[in-house]
Amino acid sequence: MSNFLDPQAFPFTEKELRAAVFLLAPGASGEELFHAVLDACASVRSENARATEARLRGSIEPEDINDAVLSLPTELYAALAVSDPTTEQRVEALLAGWRALNRKAWSQQLMPDVLPTLDEAEAQALAEWSSMKARLAATRHKLNTDGPRT
């Protein structure tokens, strides 16, 4: 959908935003929140376009290349989610992405002693995966050079 306020950070339309905002805050306060979110989305789009241009120019300066983050109240996302099934799917996709990004940070905060074990398990699983691919690649190579087994 090309009329999203920000396809990456906030994949919702003005109409969807308005409905969610007025569910949370009817009247003048809803109108104020609506315009604040519109302004925030415009600012994030502008900052992210600037960061993309800096990366394309080859900049490595964090203040130039890091994307802006849109931080909105969780209640707004809940209000969006209850508005209709397709909006709910987009909210759930955003939340799943955020949870995945935050998982390691949460683990470090909640279980600092467990994280090294998780890292080791992940490294072992990756090594097993790489080994499996290497074995199968060797078998494939052997079949291609020696012909099929009989």
Can you give the pLDDT at residue 111?
76
pLDDT in tens, 45-91: 999 999 999 999 999 999 999 999 899 999 999 999 998 889 999 99
C-alpha 25/C-alpha 17 separation (Å) is 12
Asked if the model's pLDDT at residue 1 lies above 60, the reply is no
Asked if the model's pLDDT at residue 13 lies above 80, the reply is yes
- Could you give the residue ranges of the DSSP H alpha helices within the chain? 14-24, 28-56, 62-65, 74-81, 85-110, 115-146
Indicate the average pLDDT of the chain.
88
- Full-model pTM: 0.66
